[in-house]
A and B are shown apart, each in its own frame.
Chain A
Amino acid sequence: MQFLRNTVDKLKKPFLKGGKLERYEKGFQAIETFLFVPNHTTKHGAHVRDGIDLKRTMMIVVIALVPALLFGMYNIGYQHFSQVEGSDLSLIHLFGYGFWKVLPSIIVSYAVGLGIEFAFAIWRNHDVNEGYLVSGLLIPMIMPIDLPLWMLAISVVFAVVIGKEVFGGTGMNIFNPALLARAFAFFSYPNFMSGDKVWVSDAMTTDGMSGATVLGSLAQNITPSYSTMDMFLGLIPGSVGETSKLAIIIGALILIATGIGSWKIMLSGVIGAVVTVFAFNAVGLNELMNFSWYNHLMVGGFAFAIVFMATDPVSAAQTERGKWMYGFLVGFFTIMIRIFNPAYPEGAMLAILLMNAVAPTIDYYVVNSNIVKRKKRMKTNPLKTA
């Protein structure tokens, strides 16, 4: 490693203060600190520091996403060949088909997003934040597979510039950037983002087949033909990452075990959704209302969203008590939107974006209760009244 270190040190010189490329220092630094955790020592405060940093945190989330991503690639192939071409192929073949379908969108997402992050870091002279390592992978995983790459690129630009940088960059954004990208695409290019034909690769150019998702069928009051096991394993049409509940649960366990994702948000989200489904089951006017609670958890993007999107610490509630409330309401609104608004068969995206906007208010009331307690204590303090 010493050789690599020496090479980096040599390359670094023009980027240092007074060097020719001084302006691009932050960009070089981002790459350098990616290769090597720097030799910075503590200058103020505590002399020893926790081994964790934001890079490690974000990598944990990326690792947690990998099972869902790999299964998603396989499922793209599986859906395509079982519904469009109707041939029976080996696992490797199906995975290979999906891999080559998904890879370009991952590359485009990272290239465009990180490009903007680097540009802003150099322009505003701040460090490149690691947040986009996760957003960049999330975005292709929540889009339909056949979304043209240029649409994906524009959505990424919107999410990073309008969703993040205008608020001051990572840590300051109000909305989850990945969901913002999806919402932008959803409202700008509805033909490519919703309907029966977008969720299976090449279904749009094929006549006479239905690639409808489970929620899509339900919204039209048709009982879906997939079994609960299919939904659990993920052998259903949908966006890349959302279909396999098994893979998502593995990811959730990684996030919870490492302490990176908030189990409070995940658990309260599931409780919120289940309670709401029970309420609608009692009414039971149509297929969606009659759909059982465990099936509701299995379909659509809810599971993926509650594990990977609702737990984004920046846009979620930041107080521990607030997280319970925030998660519960995400679950509640997801089901509400599913059932009452058939134009949006999946409610998780809108539910989380809505709750992102409400989260600061939840925090405000949680923090305020502490303030009220402190003021009350001052008033009832015996020394003051004596």
Chain B
Amino acid sequence: MSKDIRIPKGLDIKLKGTAEKILSDLPRSEVYTIFPTDFHGITPKLLVKIGDKVQAGDALFFSKTNERVKFASPVSGTILDILRGEKRRILEIRISADAKDSFREFGAKDPLKMSSDEVKSHVSETGCFPYFIQRPYEIIVDPNDTPKAIFISSFSTAPLAAHDAYALSGQELAFQTGINVLTKLTSGKVHISVCGTDNSFFDKLDNVEIYRVFGKHPAGNVGVQINQIDPINKGERVWTIKPQDVALIGRLFNTGKYDATRVFALAGSEVNKPQYYKAIQGAQLGKLLTTQVKNTNSRFISGDVLTGKKIEKESSLGFYTNLISVIPEGNYYTFFGWMPFTQNQKLSLSRTFFNFLMPHKEYNLDTNLNGEERALVITGEMEQVFPMDIFPMQLLKAALAGDIDKMENLGIYEVAPEDFGLIDFSNTSKLEAQEIIREALDIMIKEVG
């Protein structure tokens, strides 16, 4: 039995270069890299040093503030290097991989026959807590909490997004086990939302509340769905997790092995053949990106073009990544580019370009800012792409002012930076909304906790 949710507002950004549903194996890399910078607010305490031998599933480090949050090695091999930045902050842990992985044996388990505490300590022991992200604050969860609910969005509406149901084909059983694990971690329910216009194995899951969601981006954002299903109040905690990570946890319980294999899409207008690849977390991307992307003036993004992180061509697959987007850089000048109704190759929420008459057009957008940052002048445009019951501009202003009471009143606990991705995109003043919200959330963590 599923319930329908309709999201009335939003904007689908249609970009050229959607990944075709072809899956290839990425050849095994020599070196795998874990980036502690993938984990916002975590200070790593190392458990290994250079030269140590590790198995896949061995903990590499844990969070300084909570030793139950452990981070596992995706492969077996030898610790090659630990790269540090300013103030000795750890940036990368590089593992020279064995030719074939040997796994640490955790033993197959049936979560439904275990108590909550047993499941929790098993998830902690196997380094799976980093896959759970807490709202409020969009940070890795505290294993000592019991969330009021766990939310999964089984689809993404972001530009060029990977199709999760496709990426998980063959993983249906593992996914169900993963759901069973989640039911043991919350005092409430596990909620999964599925794409309203799509049929997949997600519709047939047990032990979970299913919602069919209809609408434009950001309908696929878990935050928007939470706001519709069961909004977060002050003092409450909910957890969220991505579909591929649910399957990873399921595999772990089914087989006893920490198998960090994931499927990611390589997409974008600059990619020769956009398609899906299977690789282990931390795999080197340099070779793939060199052969697939010819334009040297391109931007590589780990994630989607609204919320992703800029990476270098020689980088590695991130901890959570299921999409690498490649788009052209926009470092060029445009003569009288602001003249209304010119530059029709650019997308706009406003109707100041003639291409608003072509709603199905696919775009080849670049990274040009298309103007300069300005004071907030235009009103009403943020509301058009922000489907939560929250006043986005007023919240952003409170965030800029660092006014904690006001942010609390206006719903800061319900939002994450990704919910402001479209506001980043569409606002005339080129305000950096996601950055403002991230900083505001960090203030809230410090002041309220």
Task: Say yes or no for B348: interface residue by CB 8 A criterion.
Answer: yes
B337's partner among A4, A36, A259 (CB-CB below 8 A) is A36
Q: Kindly specify which of B23-31, B73-81, B107-115, B374-382 makes contact with the partner chain.
A: B374-382
Query: Are A48 and B378 within 8 A (Cβ)?
Result: no
Given A46-B305, A53-B372: A259 and B351 interface contact (C-beta under 8 Å): yes
- A383, B305: Cα distance in complex, Å: 37
Shortest distance from the beta carbon of A286 to any chain B beta carbon, whole Å: 39
User: Is there a chain B Cβ closer than 8 Å to A129's Cβ?
Assistant: yes
In chain A, what residue has the closest Cβ to B149? A383
Say if the beta carbon of B66 comes within 8 Å of chain A. Answer: no
Q: Contacts A56-B340, A313-B380 given: A374-B409 contact, CB under 8 Å?
A: yes
Let me know if B371 and A54 touch, CB within 8 A: yes
Asked if A320 contacts B410 (CB within 8 A), the reply is: no
Q: For residue A321, give the distance in angstroms from its CB to the closest CB of chain B.
A: 10
Closest to A9 in B: B333
Residues from chain B with Cβ under 8 Å of A172 in the complex: 375
Chain B residues whose C-beta falls within 8 Å of the C-beta of A53 in the assembled complex:
338, 370-372, 374, 428, 430
In the assembled complex, A39 has its CB within 8 A of some CB on chain B: yes
Contact B367–A50 (Cβ < 8 Å): no
Give the segment of A15-23, A57-65, A179-187, A238-246 that binds chain B.
A57-65
Is B5 engaged at the interface, CB distance under 8 Å to the other chain? no
Q: Are A54 and B343 in contact (CB under 8 A)?
A: no
B320 located at the interface, meaning its Cβ lies under 8 Å from any Cβ of chain A in the complex: no
Within B185-237, the residues touching A (CB, 8 Å) are: 188, 231, 233-236
- A38→B234 CA distance, assembly (Å): 43
A227 within 8 A of B: no
Q: Which of A24-64 contact B (CB under 8 A)?
A: 33, 35-42, 44-57, 59-60, 63
> Is B366 part of the contact surface with A, judged by Cβ < 8 Å?
yes
Contact present for A51 and B425 (CB under 8 Å)? no
| A48: min CB distance to chain B, Å | 4
Query: CA–CA, A86 to B104, complex, Å?
Result: 102
Q: Is B301 an interface residue (CB 8 A)?
A: yes
A48 touches B333 (CB 8 A): no
User: Cβ of A381 < 8 Å from any Cβ of B?
Assistant: yes
A44 touches B377 (CB 8 A): no
* CB <8 Å contact, A49 and B368: yes
The A/B interface has a contact count, at CB < 8 Å, of: 214
Q: A54-B377, A171-B375, A367-B391 are in contact. Are A47 and B148 (CB under 8 A)?
A: no
Instruction: Name the residue of chain B whose CB is nearest to the CB of A366.
Output: B391
In the complex, whether B134 has a CB less than 8 A from a CB of chain A is no
Give A318 to B307 CA distance when docked, in angstroms: 27
Does A258 lie within 8 Å of B352, measured CB to CB?
yes
B383 is an interface residue with CB less than 8 A from chain A: yes
B91 at the interface (CB under 8 A from A): no
Is A262 part of the contact surface with B, judged by Cβ < 8 Å? yes
In B130-189, which residues have CB < 8 Å from any A CB?
A: 148, 159, 188
Interface size class of A (residues with CB under 8 A): 35 or more
**Bound-complex Cα distance A81 to B234 (A):** 71
Contact with A along B1-31 (1 / 0, CB 8 A): 0000000000001010000000000000000
Question: Which B residues between 344 and 362 are near A, CB-CB below 8 angstroms?
Answer: 346-353
Cα separation A381 to B235 with both chains bound (whole Å): 11
B310 cross-chain contacts in A, Cβ below 8 A: 47
Asked if A92 is at the interface of the complex by the 8 Å CB criterion, the answer is no
Which residues of B have CB within 8 Å of A170?
374-375, 377
Chain A residue numbers with a CB within 8 Å of B377 are 54, 57, 129, 131, 170-171, 313-314
Q: What residues of chain B lie closer than 8 Å to A36, measured between beta carbons?
A: 333-337
The answer, yes or no, to whether B419 is at the interface (CB within 8 Å) is no
Contacting pair A50 B379 (CB below 8 A): no
The CA-CA distance from A4 to B421 in the complex, in Å, is: 36
Q: Is the pair A260, B350 in contact by a Cβ cutoff of 8 Å?
A: yes
**Residues of chain B contacted by A59 (CB below 8 angstroms):** 338-340
Residues of B within 8 A of A37 (CB): 333-334, 336-338, 368, 370-371
Interface presence of A169 (CB below 8 A): yes
Q: Please name all residues of chain A whose beta carbon is closer than 8 Å to the beta carbon of B337 when the two chains form the complex.
A: 36-37
In the complex, what residues of B have CB within 8 A of residue A314's CB?
Answer: 377
Interface residue A279 (Cβ < 8 Å from any Cβ of B): no
- B331 contacts chain A at the CB level, 8 A cutoff: yes
In angstroms, Cα B24 to Cα A318, docked, is 51
Complex contacts, A124 vs chain B, CB 8 Å = none
7 residue pairs, one from A and one from B, having the closest CB atoms:
A53-B371, A171-B375, A51-B346, A37-B337, A46-B424, A55-B338, A36-B333
Q: List 25 A-B contacts (CB under 8 A).
A: A4-B335, A5-B335, A37-B370, A38-B369, A38-B372, A39-B332, A41-B369, A44-B434, A46-B307, A47-B306, A49-B368, A50-B426, A52-B348, A52-B370, A53-B430, A54-B377, A54-B378, A55-B371, A56-B338, A56-B340, A56-B371, A130-B374, A259-B351, A320-B383, A374-B233
With A262-B379, A370-B390, A377-B231 already in contact, 4 other A-B pairs whose C-beta atoms are closer than 8 Å = A37-B368, A46-B424, A49-B371, A316-B379
